[in-house]
Amino acid sequence: MTTATPEAATAGRTITYREAINEALKEEMRRDDSVFVAGIDLAERGDVFGVTAGILSEFGPRRILDTPISENAIAGLATGAASQGLRPVVSMMFIDFIGVAFDGIMNQMAKMKYMFGGKATLPITVLANSGAGTGMAAQHSQSLEALLCHIPGIKVVMPSNAADAKGLMTSAMREDNPVFVIMHKRCQRLRGVVPEGEYTVPIGKAAVVREGRDLTIVASAYMVQETMAAADRLAEQGVEVEVVDPRSLQPLDTETIVASVEKTHRLLTVHEAVEFAGMGAEINAQVADLAFDYLDAPPRRLGGPFSPVPYSPPLEQEWLINADDIVEAALKTVNG
């Protein structure tokens, strides 16, 4: 089995993010007969983004099921099947729809193992698409990862590239606890080098995707792409940014983030979710608790406006965080 190492990242071929998720699903279904997939439009249609394409033809209708349009039923199916020894992979389609199933997620899926004193095993993988920038309006464009990270009993991963998409997806399907794999819609078509065959990325381990000395920027999902573009522009101005991709938000690899801040002495967190009560606030608070003496400037956070995502394309673009915003916030953090 290949694990996430710099050497592994250079091996393999170039495929898209969505193809990487699809590949992880098929490989794990071949390896483990207890894995099955269920959700809306997954079998015949192959998912609205093509993530489950080809699974029905290879594995048949017993291993991939089209469910009724009922996220509450999908969450209940996953919890019941997992408690009886199966390893369900279920899709909420858009993360916005978890609201329909929140009791099943928050009070059943997340709590059953605890309520049964650890005797119940809940190996559930939940797929959900998040993020704005694709013209899908207020009810299909939210970034709600912080809601899930606040619930004990749930793990949350947000891959930002194709290799991590495959590796985290595989790890999620092997985890004996519920894991939400949140796929940003603007990441779906990103291409990257992905190792062939069995490949995992550890849940709870961040990645330093760019080395730097002047400022640590912690960014997740598609914001990693915008942050890397901003880092190139900042380098032209003599500011060397270190970019940390948490990959896993719950559990959070605080150790890697703190180690980076101890080197750069400054911190900016970036996420597309609304800034108020987002993961940036949590990360900044943990760094302030654990590495206050290393900070040469107050930690800064950059997130989306506290409003629904507009449908109008010009307004949506104005709402989004981009490389220009990140450059501006970075310079304020460095220069005071």
Return d(Cα 296, Cα 291) in angstroms, integer: 11
Tell me the two tokens of residue 219.
């960014």
The four Cα atoms 150, 162, 8, 218 give a dihedral, to 10 degrees, of -40
pLDDT of residue 106: 97
User: What is the per-residue pLDDT for 11?
Assistant: 56
Report the alpha-carbon distance of residue 108 to residue 114 in Å, rounded: 10
Q: Please give the model's pTM, rounded to 2 decimal places.
A: 0.95
Q: How many CB atoms sit inside 10 A of residue 235's CB?
A: 14
In 3D space, the residue among 114, 84, 108, 248 whose CA is nearest the CA of residue 171 turns out to be 248
106 beta partners: none
- pLDDT at residue 237 in the model: 96
Which residues fall within 8 angstroms of residue 158, CB to CB, at 6 or more apart? 130, 145, 182, 184, 220, 221, 246, 247, 248, 249
55 by Cβ neighbours in 10 Å (0-12 / 13-18 / 19+) ranks as buried
Position of tokens 């916030």? 329
pLDDT of residue 8: 46
The CATH number of the domain covering residues in 2-200? 3.40.50.970
Active site residue 236: no
Which of 27, 140, 226, 271 is catalytic? The answer is 140
265 is catalytic: no
Q: Is 63 helix (H, G, I), strand (E, B) or coil?
A: coil
Instruction: Find out whether 163 and 14 touch, Cβ atoms under 8 Å.
Output: no
pLDDT digit string (tens) for the chain, length 336 residues: 544 444 444 456 999 999 999 999 999 999 999 999 999 999 999 999 999 999 999 999 999 999 999 999 999 999 999 999 999 999 999 999 999 999 999 999 999 999 999 999 999 999 999 999 999 999 999 999 999 999 999 999 999 999 999 999 999 999 999 999 999 999 999 999 999 999 999 999 999 999 999 999 999 999 999 999 999 999 999 999 999 999 999 999 999 999 999 999 999 999 999 999 999 999 999 999 999 999 999 999 999 999 999 999 999 999 999 999 999 999 999 998
In the structure encoding, which two tokens stand for residue 184, read together?
């940003």
Around Cβ 278, how many Cβ atoms within 10 Å? 21
Judge whether 23 and 55 are in contact, CB under 8 Å: no
Report pLDDT for 4: 45
Question: In the chain, which segments carry CATH 3.40.50.920?
Answer: 207-335
Residue 336's pLDDT is 81
Active-site option among 27, 71, 226, 316:
71
Contacts for 166 with CB less than 8 Å, ≥ 6 apart: 20, 21, 23, 24, 194, 195, 199
The hierarchical CATH code for the domain 207-335 is 3.40.50.920
- Give CA–CA dist 336/331, Å, rounded: 8
Distance, in Å, from the CA atom of 164 to the CA atom of 219, rounded to the nearest integer, reads: 14
Tokens of 8: 């592994």
| Residues 80, 50: Cα–Cα separation, whole Å | 27
For the chain, give every residue range classified as CATH 3.40.50.970: 2-200
